[in-house]
Chain A
Amino acid sequence: MNIAFPDINMLVILPLIVIFGSALALLLIDLFFIPAGNKKITGYLALAGLLFTGLAGVPLWGMEESSFSGMVVVDTFALTLNVIFIIIAAITIIISLDYLPRQGIEQGEFYPLILFATGSFVLLAQSTNLILIFLGIELLSITLYVLTGFAYPRLSSEEAAMKYLLLGAFAAGFFVYGIALIYGETMTVDLNQIRLYLTELESSSTAAVPGPTLLLIGGALVLIAFSFKIALVPFHMWTPDVYEGAPTPVTAFMSVGTKGAALAALIRIVTIALPTVQDAWVPVLAVLAAATMIVGNVGAVAQTNVKRMLAYSSVGHAGYIVLGVVAMSAHGIEAFLFYLLAYSLTNLGAFAVIIVLEQRGESAWSLDDFSGLGQRQPMLAVAMALFMLSLAGVPPTAGYLGKFFVFAAAWESGLGWLVLIGVITSAIAIFFYLRIIVRMFMHEPVRDVQPALHRSITWTIAVAAGAVLLFGFMPNLFIDLAQRSVIALGG
């Protein structure tokens, strides 16, 4: 019996090891050393874990290698996404430090679960094998089901978790069936080998061969599952209820992180494995994006519940981000990365403001709670106004530049009709984003809301607002990074 160690390079998954390791350690430390009622320490330790993960990614810059028999790859694309995901997780943890005790739902497991979810984001950004992508998506999903049900005093939280789980399990079934069909056609689950198979098929194509129909159907099923995760129309029905029911920091986390990670995995699949069958999936994805932009933005118009409005708006934004993917060009992926960064900061900031205003157990989610905020908390109102403008895509915010890049990339790829729909829906969106701003500054206070302002959350909102403005004025800080990521992706 020969014990031969596999030929693996652990450095490739170093951030993954660090984040999962710190999550595991945190679970144990929280169980044995941290008394109930003092769980904020767990939160701080989680932030330390994230810091270590970020540091672990530093020596990997410039590396471009795959390991574990080609299952994971480390390149600038993955590392850039790592940075974005760490920022998202850090902001989420900071805004939940005070929110959880205030709502009476503080449990030590929250922070390790957030770390596990972030770890799955990191995994999805790095994997080049369908098995690993499937496991990453399922790890992410299960963690989010649990996190959604965390605000258990509110019955809607448990309902939302149950709904999310049933639909998510459904989508997982579609996902694996699609992968099984792809496996049946190509006899492999590795993305690079799928591309080899497809190019061989094309080069040896005769009239008798019907084409990779099984693979296309498998791909369609996989796309359905991804559309569910990213909340593309018509698989977005779960989004308003789940976003409303989940505790607000978890909603913020889900709305930006899941989309980013799932889209990163989708980008890997389509750029590595399926570039040769572009004619098949680009139109489908384009139509989905168009429908998403329309339904998301039109649906938000009617909402008076701010949390649900942000849910619909995030559905709309998913449509815009997908434009970057559909463009299938280097500019498209750069636009995707920039949009993800801008959208994450903006959405997290907006949800942070809602958290500050949220009362015990009940929503500060109706528009009335925002009335007159400009008089009582001017700085908070200004920050919220900035976030709303960025979501609407008004210059000089980062959100505007994000939309601009995405539209430009789609236009260059010949998808003019999609850009037109995007512009029209953006115009519609301005209505409901502006409505909040108007409420804040031009109406009298209706309800007496005591904002729970703590230093950490104030700083977070300030930093997020500052970053939104910063990237709006000087996108070059990030664009260079995005361009190097795209080169690494081979686009």
Chain B
Amino acid sequence: MINAVPLSAVLTIAAALFCIGLFGAMSRRNAVSILMGVELMLNSVNINLVAFWRYLQPDLITGQVFAIFVITVAAAEAAVGLAMVIAIYRSRQTVYIDTVDSMKG
């Protein structure tokens, strides 16, 4: 692959995915949709890491190891976030984050 596709192409894909995730996280109202946007962002980071690893330093494992850690953290945050969504839904019957805004100032 590394002879066929230039590294900048893969990095462009990753950057595009990051920005799509960013857009999703910033423009949606549903809390679960925001979390999905964040997952896209973290996945784009992983693509970056793996691409850098494969193209520039495939004999050391640092890139892949870091990617595994990012997956771990993403999973943990998704779990806690979704637990919170469920808890809020129980008390408020809604998951739209701009309707759960009782604090002012």
When A and B assemble into the complex, do they touch directly, with CB atoms less than 8 Å apart? yes
Contacts A170-B25, A187-B57, A189-B66 given; indicate if A160 touches B103 (C-beta within 8 A): yes
A155 engages B92 (CB within 8 Å): yes
B88 engages A162 (CB within 8 Å): yes
Contacts A172-B77, A176-B45, A181-B48 given; indicate if A156 touches B102 (C-beta within 8 A): yes
A145 engages B52 (CB within 8 Å): no
B31 engages A166 (CB within 8 Å): yes
Closest to A183 in B: B52
Query: Which of A131-139, A272-280, A313-321, A440-448 faces chain B?
Result: A131-139
Contacts A162-B31, A162-B100 given; indicate if A142 touches B76 (C-beta within 8 A): yes
Within 8 A of B (CB), among A146-187: 146, 149, 152, 155-156, 158-163, 165-166, 169-170, 172-173, 176-177, 179-181, 183-184, 187
Contacts A177-B45, A184-B48 given; indicate if A162 touches B105 (C-beta within 8 A): no
Closest to A178 in B: B45
Q: Is the interface of A mostly helix, strand, loop or mixed?
A: helix
For A230-274 the 0/1 string (1 means CB < 8 A from B) is 000000000011001100000000000000000000000000000
Closest to B51 in A: A184
Which residues of the other chain, A, contact B21 by a CB distance below 8 angstroms?
A: 173
For B30-46 the 0/1 string (1 means CB < 8 A from A) is 01001100100110110
A169 engages B102 (CB within 8 Å): no
Contacts A241-B103, A244-B103 given; indicate if A169 touches B69 (C-beta within 8 A): no
Instruction: State how many angstroms separate the Cβ of B62 from the closest Cβ of chain A.
Output: 6
B69 engages A159 (CB within 8 Å): no
B61 within 8 A of A: no
B34 engages A166 (CB within 8 Å): yes
B87 engages A138 (CB within 8 Å): no
Q: Which of A131, A138, A149 contacts B77 (CB 8 A)?
A: A138
Instruction: State how many angstroms separate the Cβ of A161 from the closest Cβ of chain B.
Output: 6
Which residues of the other chain, A, contact B25 by a CB distance below 8 angstroms?
A: 166, 170, 173
Interface size for B (C-beta < 8 A) is 41
Closest to A181 in B: B48
Which residues of the other chain, A, contact B66 by a CB distance below 8 angstroms?
A: 131, 179-180, 183, 189
A145 engages B76 (CB within 8 Å): no
Which residues of the other chain, B, contact A162 by a CB distance below 8 angstroms?
A: 31, 81, 84-85, 88, 97, 100
A303 within 8 A of B: yes
A359 within 8 A of B: no
Within 8 A of A (CB), among B62-80: 62-63, 65-66, 69-70, 73, 76-77, 80
Q: Which of B56, B63, B70 contacts A176 (CB 8 A)?
A: B70
A145 engages B80 (CB within 8 Å): yes
A176 to B41, CA, bound (A): 9
Which residues of the other chain, B, contact A166 by a CB distance below 8 angstroms?
A: 25, 31, 34-35, 38, 81, 97
A172 engages B102 (CB within 8 Å): no
Which residues of the other chain, B, contact A229 by a CB distance below 8 angstroms?
A: none
Contacts A152-B87, A181-B48 given; indicate if A169 touches B77 (C-beta within 8 A): yes
Contacts A146-B80, A162-B84 given; indicate if A184 touches B56 (C-beta within 8 A): yes
Which residues of the other chain, A, contact B92 by a CB distance below 8 angstroms?
A: 155
Contacts A135-B73, A166-B35 given; indicate if A177 touches B103 (C-beta within 8 A): no
Closest to A302 in B: B105
Q: Which of B35, B62, B73, B102 contacts A138 (CB 8 A)?
A: B73
Closest to B38 in A: A169
A134 to B70, CA, bound (A): 9
Which residues of the other chain, A, contact B93 by a CB distance below 8 angstroms?
A: none
A305 within 8 A of B: yes
Instruction: State how many angstroms separate the Cβ of A181 from the closest Cβ of chain B.
Output: 7
B27 within 8 A of A: no
Which residues of the other chain, B, contact A173 by a CB distance below 8 angstroms?
A: 18, 21-22, 25, 38, 41-42, 45
Residue contacts A-B, CB under 8 angstroms, 22 given? A131-B69, A134-B73, A138-B73, A149-B84, A155-B91, A155-B100, A158-B91, A159-B102, A161-B84, A162-B31, A165-B80, A166-B34, A169-B35, A172-B73, A172-B77, A173-B41, A176-B42, A176-B70, A183-B52, A245-B103, A302-B105, A305-B105
